[in-house]
Copies of this chain bind each other. A is one copy, B any other.
Amino acid sequence: QLSDMAFGIRELSKKLGHIRLKLKVKNVFILTKAHDETLIHKTREVVKWLLSYHENDHSYVEDTLKEEPDFDAQGILADPEYQGRLRFWNDELCQKRPHTFDIILALGGDGTVLYASALFQRIVPPVLAFALGSLGFLTKFDYDSYPKTLTRAFSEGVTVSLRLRFEATVMRSRKRAGHDTPQARRDLVEELIGVEAEDAHTHAPEKSWNILNDVVLDRGPNPTMSSIEVFGDEEHFTTVQADGICVATPTGSTAYNLAAGGSLCHPDNPVILVTAICAHTLSFRPIILPDTIVLRIGVPYDARTSSWASFDGRERTELKPGDYVTISASRYPFPSVLPLDRRSEDWIDSISRTLNWNSRQRQKAFT
């Protein structure tokens, strides 16, 4: 009975890794780096292909392209067939009306896909990413085959994998009215999991992000190591003395987590990867936690210096003593479109190809 339950969950999880979606594409969102000349030309090419592909669809490009001579929006709109069908998006539209878009086409590299995640902080339309160089971890389609890829996606639908994102919230320590305790005498452990833990007066949320790769706390410009408190649910896990700490999603396992010595983690795993950055102990080893845990990482009140948090490598934020970041699985995963033709398991290919994982020495004859 219990066994069957466990088995059922496993089957469900398996399906979640490869969900077939039929697409009724009306509005295509196109994402690219608007300051790269080659990309602008290729974007124009794709837009014209899209506009000619089906007469009722709309293509949205970034509004910075409106006046970009290389893109020549006027030239496109001059064609009566295309009139009104080339539109322009801005950040606000992404935030407020994500449902507008049926699919996102990303042109560039893995960084462009991370940018898609940054733009769509809640609901994310399926993201189909074209690599302009070699294929990456997130850019799984070759740009040169875009007409074939898109024709097929529009007619047959796509397969998406739901990538775990984290919701990360900066929590600021509040001055406590009527309390005389000097700041340095306050105790983060006590405030977060002690008897006062429910007291909303100790901290206030400042800002939240949905992130696809990692939250990193580090010592920033400080020459000395950081002291970081780590909490899981209602427990104090450990105090890390290190250059910092990296909390990564499975997608982020091939990014900073890798440099910090973490394991390589298949993107379908529902886990949180916690790795110290240059721990000042011999006995730190990366840990892998379930994504059902709520993590909190913070700077102790008696720390001599601040730490710096970054979110997918952006939004560098100073955390003063007493501040912390809450990290938990986001309700808004990131739907990454998978290749139809490629074999089901391309993650191993990608770590071998991109990271030279387990690449062996050249054969030496006569050894």
The residues of A with any CB-CB pair to B shorter than 8 Å are 2-3, 5-7, 9-10, 12-14, 16-17, 19, 33, 36, 39, 108-112, 123, 131-134, 136, 160, 162, 164, 220-221, 223-225, 232-235, 237-243, 250, 253, 256, 258-266, 268-271, 273, 276-293, 308, 310, 313-314, 316, 329, 331-333, 335, 343-345, 348, 351-367
> Is B39's CB under 8 angstroms from A366's CB?
yes
Query: Are A359 and B362 closer than 8 Å at their CB atoms?
Result: no
CA distance A108 to B160 in the complex (A): 48
Asked whether, in the complex, the Cβ of A259 is within 8 Å of the Cβ of B283, the reply is no
8 A-B residue pairs with CB within 8 Å: A6-B164, A14-B292, A133-B367, A221-B308, A242-B259, A258-B282, A266-B271, A266-B287
Establish whether residues A162 and B6, one from each chain, have CB atoms under 8 Å apart when the complex forms: yes
- Can you add 16 more A-B contacts, CB < 8 Å, to A7-B331, A280-B361? A9-B9, A10-B270, A10-B292, A109-B366, A223-B313, A261-B261, A268-B292, A269-B269, A280-B360, A281-B359, A282-B356, A283-B356, A283-B357, A287-B348, A293-B345, A359-B359
Q: Give the residue name and chain of the B residue nearest to A238 (CB).
A: B358
Contact A364 B270 (CB under 8 A): no
B271 & A111 in contact (Cβ 8 Å cutoff): no
Tell which of B221, B344, B355 touches A233, judged by Cβ atoms closer than 8 Å: B344
Q: Are the C-beta atoms of B6 and A9 separated by less than 8 Å?
A: no
A101–B264 Cα distance when bound, in Å, is 41
Chain B residues positioned under 8 Å from A220 (CB to CB): 221
Q: Evaluate contact between A333 and B279: CB separation under 8 angstroms.
A: no
Which B residues are CB-close (under 8 A) to A17?
A: 290, 292
Partner of A348 from B237, B308, B359 at Cβ < 8 Å = B237
Question: Judging by beta carbons under 8 Å apart, are B278 and A240 in contact?
Answer: no
Contact B288 A263 (CB under 8 A): yes
Q: Do A136 and B364 touch across chains, with their CB atoms under 8 A apart?
A: yes
Given A238-B357, A313-B223, A364-B133: A6 and B2 interface contact (C-beta under 8 Å): no
Interface centre among A259, A268, A363 (most CB of B within 10 A): A259
User: Is the CB–CB distance between B263 and A285 below 8 Å?
Assistant: yes
Contact at A290–B13, with CB atoms within 8 Å? yes
> Does the CB pair B361–A281 fall under 8 Å?
yes
A233 — which chain B residues lie within 8 A by C-beta?
A: 344-345
A33 → chain B closest CB, angstroms: 7
Known: A17-B290, A278-B277, A283-B283. A355 touches B365 (CB 8 A): no
Chain B neighbourhood of A108, CB < 8 A: 366-367
Return the contact of A270 from the options B13, B250, B258 (Cβ within 8 A). B13
Indicate if the CB atoms of A359 and B9 lie closer than 8 Å. no
Which of B241, B287, B290 sits near A351, CB closer than 8 Å?
A: B287
* Chain B residues within 8 Å of A10, by CB: 270, 291-292, 329
B contact residues around A232 at 8 Å (CB): 345, 348
Q: Are A278 and B259 interface neighbours, CB within 8 A? A: yes
Instruction: Choose one: B132, B283, B288; the contact of A359 (CB below 8 Å).
Output: B283
- Please determine whether A358 and B291 come into contact, CB atoms closer than 8 angstroms: no
A193 CB to closest chain B CB (Å) equals 10
